[in-house]
Amino acid sequence: MPEPESRWERWGLIGAFVMACLITVAGIAAIFANQPQPVTFTINPPPPTVTPGPTATPAPVVVYITGAVQQPNQLLTMPPGSRVADVIEAVGGFTDAADMARINIAGFVQDGQQIHVPAVDEVFEVVEESMGVSLIDVNSAEIDELTQLPGVGPALAERIIAYRQANGRFTSLEDLDAVSGIGEAMLGELEGRVIFGP
């Protein structure tokens, strides 16, 4: 049988084993120590985009044209932003009898508006009464004719024309009260001096 190991040999073996373990642990620790630190990525979502809301589409306008044009008494549907000249062109243009100086062809048309092209010899807007008082038709008179009325200056005459172009013909004296600058006192002065033609 082999002789039993001496005490010093046993301690030597134990010491060698411990040393091997320490070297192994130190090597593992060195490997982990040399590994790069993990990189953290932060993903930021893109900022929300604002979606513009739908824009309103302007509606077509419907106008009625009468007077000295090639195709009078027509109800027309025109694109938004149309001018009086566009309406006149749509009905074939003026006739030879048209008094083109008395209509503003550059004006914008409004929905529900009546456009009347007067003839050169058309004088229905000023009618002589038997008492000798001139009656002014506020639905067709221009600035120089409206200023013949008491208390009506050029600025007020322009507002009267602009109102009827935007809202249609006046049908009564009370309708004039809606025009800025015309009050109850002026309506009393205008009574008997204005008429409301077609």
Distance CA 153, CA 169 (A): 20
In the prediction, which pLDDT does 185 show?
83
CA dihedral (181, 187, 188, 190) positive or negative: positive
Using an 8 Å Cβ cutoff, are 145 and 161 in contact?
A: no
Checking if the pLDDT of 136 tops 50, the result is yes
Using an 8 Å Cβ cutoff, are 91 and 74 in contact?
A: yes
Q: Tell me the Ramachandran region of residue 160: left when phi exceeds 0, alpha when psi lies from -120 to 50, beta otherwise.
A: alpha
Mean pLDDT of 33-60: 67
Mean pLDDT, rounded, of the chain: 77
| Segment 149-160, tens digit of pLDDT | 888 888 889 999
Q: Which residue has the tokens 């009325």?
A: 149
Torsion, Cα 158 159 164 170, to 10 degrees, reads: -110
| Segment 78-129, tens digit of pLDDT | 998 899 999 999 999 999 999 888 788 888 888 877 888 888 877 544 444 4
Structure tokens belonging to residue 74: 């027509």
